[in-house]
A and B are shown apart, each in its own frame.
Chain A
């Protein structure tokens, strides 16, 4: 009863599937949904049934067609002819119109951060207006409080959302999407946890539970497998634009699910084989690092070591990489030295040590969207390409070629726009950019955010291979999976200082999470 696709999971959906459509009529019923772009079939004859009141997960790697499916439902793209869709028994033209019972919270949340929660809600749901179009502010405020009260969120509704925490913003976006909602229907959440710190994810789950309790179904798109097991009733897996199948979550384990997504047995509990390097020379020393959230961090790394930095949001873990790489603002202080190149200590806010950084937010901090793949790779290494400022095209092409090959970047070639690459491949490009300068120390922040599991493992493997050749890697991540998969040693930050140091050997996820949260052990 579990595996509804009778066909071999590798062969895509069988002819007549979805055998276990639950008893009641599905809320959302979609058949024969396809989308063809010039040169590619992004979605191929996909079907989807969402039962009343269920949390239905949609999973798949980058490029599997998840986003295309969501964009079709939101009528952002038009569907190929032949699709059939019904919401609560009422047919609608999928890709052309969006029925009122279908509500969306997109990945970027669609909020205006300069405006307050109240204004954002009003922009979605309309302003309470009196004579002459005058906004009735008092009434508006009452309405805003009423809408937000349902989600138990503690937020100053008059302050710009830029000052709110990520989860508060997500809640506001959900509340905005649900305004004027009259029961039934489906709320589509597109990767809502992509930008949420670990400790705030639970909060989001409560909100999702609340939505479900009020009788709405949820279509939940995510990369993170543990969330699916915690939250969803059923999961539909897409691969290469086709539906692999729809499964009961209770009858799946993460290995099977990963296998369905990747089409092969990829190990979700992958651990890179990196040996702790106690007798190797010290490559980087830092002392008294202060900055945003940071209140004096000391650390030391050795050649071939992969050092993990863990911590809750606000503990300073995700800020530390920027300071170490000399890319933080002027408020950062502390001293750093690279004993390999010179015994001198440098002020971190002024040092020009050229330690490359893989930034946390790929889209805003790393990728130059208007540049090609090649231009993105060579950006940091331009100085080495040619003499007296002249850029030698051949040297650049060779550099790009060799790094694309080493990291297995899949693209239409070096001149392809970077925006045509999947998230995982874009991340490889950024990694290539950092490695192309030939660093001894590499600092990474959220190395696999928004990267699908297949590419994720290949990124782990690349980093591990580099460490084996003597590169020191410092990895900060809010995803414990990254740290467990990669690190030889993990520093846990709490309140801006190193609270614990854990050897990764034999470390379990639970122990790590407890350490991060500062629970008694």
Chain B
């Protein structure tokens, strides 16, 4: 009887609207395409239109599209490698230096005459080792991940300088099998574009369709609640950092192959674009959650903009300006949306209204 009382009393606050799962197929698709979920795609389309009008001779063609995919493959790999730790709210600021380290290490091994496959294997192991060290420092020693990975990054930098003496590693041996890892082309696309697809698919599956993924998000959103709900918080954070170590290391090896040698500063330029793309990606598809699809959309959006600016002969500084403006705008729009939804609660997700509009 008491349960009935409660049901009836709570009725005023009840808002039964067609849930996302129960809508017609059309409305479900409409809600998936709602501005607050894939806003970046609309911005991306707008950018494509703008550049198609601005530089009609060079921009709107398949070659440019392929060029955008090719030149952003490494940025995408870099961003994807920090997606998992960020989902659990753990920063890995050392990932860019880890990329450099693994790149120069494999280049070094190849030059020293180590066969290709063991050399790459060793490189991946180095990435794994970096991940293990990060995980030990952050989870084992309970040091804040932001500072901890900044510190391990410095250690990695020391190692890089030790190995390379700050001079790029180049040798004819690197032009052989090693260069094929990143430079093999098919249909105008380089092989790393395929790697991106594979890694993104893997991360998507992990975060969306496994219990581990759900637990990673729970840890990221409310660590205490996750722990009290029986989630093994520390183990997940540990594994997340190990995964990002391996992924960043692998990305670094691919990068070295594309560059055709081991540059002691190869990874550094990917630090900020990588994080920018992941954070922008977290505002897409699954609002507030770091996710693979959103990350890819973000990389493409930022990459298209900078490529377009390059083709339009815009000044050098415009690329960075563009990335900064897009990031602030995206995060501001998301923040605004969240505030309005919070202020208007209890009301279901806005996307339903947009979808039916």
A residues sitting closer than 8 Å to B (CB atoms) are 37-40, 61-63, 77, 239-241, 262-264, 266, 270, 325, 327, 354, 356-357, 359, 364-371, 375, 378-380, 382-383, 385-386, 389-391, 393, 397, 408, 410-417, 419-422, 424-425, 433, 437, 454-455, 457-458, 460-462
Contacts and interface: CB of A to CB of B under 8 A. Distances in A.
A390 B6 contact: no
Contacts of A422: 10, 13, 346
Contacts of B8: 264
A227 B2 CA distance: 24
B13 A63 contact: yes
Nearest to B343: A77
Contact of A389 (B17, B212, B229, B343): B212
A457 B349 CA distance: 30
State the majority secondary structure of interface residues on A. loop
B349 A380 contact: no
22 contacts: A40-B13, A63-B13, A262-B5, A263-B9, A266-B2, A270-B2, A368-B222, A369-B222, A370-B288, A382-B214, A389-B210, A390-B210, A408-B3, A412-B16, A412-B348, A416-B348, A419-B342, A420-B345, A454-B9, A454-B10, A461-B3, A462-B3
Interface in B292-330: none
Interface stretch (B18-26, B39-47, B149-157): B18-26
Nearest to B286: A370
Nearest to A389: B210
B292 to A, nearest CB: 16
Given A241-B12, A408-B3, A455-B6, 15 more contacts: A38-B344, A63-B12, A264-B5, A364-B222, A368-B222, A370-B222, A391-B211, A391-B213, A410-B6, A410-B11, A413-B21, A415-B21, A420-B348, A454-B5, A458-B3
B144 interface: no
Contact of A379 (B10, B15, B226, B346): B226
Contact of B6 (A385, A397, A457): A457
| 5 closest cross-chain pairs (CB), A and B | A413-B19, A382-B211, A63-B13, A420-B346, A240-B12
Nearest to A411: B14
B209 to A, nearest CB: 6
Contacts of B341: 417
B6 A364 contact: no
B356 to A, nearest CB: 12
B221 interface: yes
B162 interface: no
B2 A457 contact: yes
Nearest to B206: A389
A378 B226 CA distance: 12
B112 interface: no
Nearest to B211: A382
A270 B7 CA distance: 18
A458 B13 CA distance: 17
B6 A40 contact: no
B230 A354 contact: yes
B3 A412 contact: no
B94 to A, nearest CB: 27
A365 B228 contact: yes
Contacts of B344: 37-38
Nearest to B353: A38
A37 B3 contact: no
Interface string B72-102: 0000000000000000000000000000000
B235 interface: no
Residue among A266, A365, A370 with most chain B CB within 10 A: A370
A61 B11 CA distance: 12
Contacts of B108: none
A40 B11 CA distance: 11
Nearest to B287: A370
Nearest to B222: A368
Contact of B14 (A386, A393, A410, A433): A410
Contacts of B212: 389
B6 A408 contact: yes
Given A39-B15, A410-B14, A458 B5 contact: yes
A437 B211 CA distance: 14
B222 A367 contact: yes
A369 B221 contact: yes
Contacts of A455: 6, 10
A358 to B, nearest CB: 9
B124 interface: no
B209 A391 contact: yes
A410 B13 contact: yes
Contacts of A411: 14
Contacts of B289: 370
Contacts of B20: 413, 415
B2 A356 contact: no
B6 A412 contact: no
Contacts of B10: 63, 410, 422, 424-425, 454-455
A44 B349 CA distance: 24
Contacts of A325: 228
A412 B14 contact: yes
A242 to B, nearest CB: 9
Interface in B209-238: 209-215, 217-218, 221-222, 224-231
Residue among A413, A425, A457 with most chain B CB within 10 A: A413
A368 B348 contact: no
Interface string B335-356: 0000001111111110001000
A360 B26 CA distance: 43
B342 A461 contact: no
A380 B19 contact: no
Nearest to B21: A415
Contacts of A263: 9
Contacts of B7: 408, 410
Nearest to B20: A415
Nearest to B231: A379
Contacts of A359: 225, 228
A239 B10 CA distance: 10
A433 B225 CA distance: 12
Contacts of A37: 343-345, 347
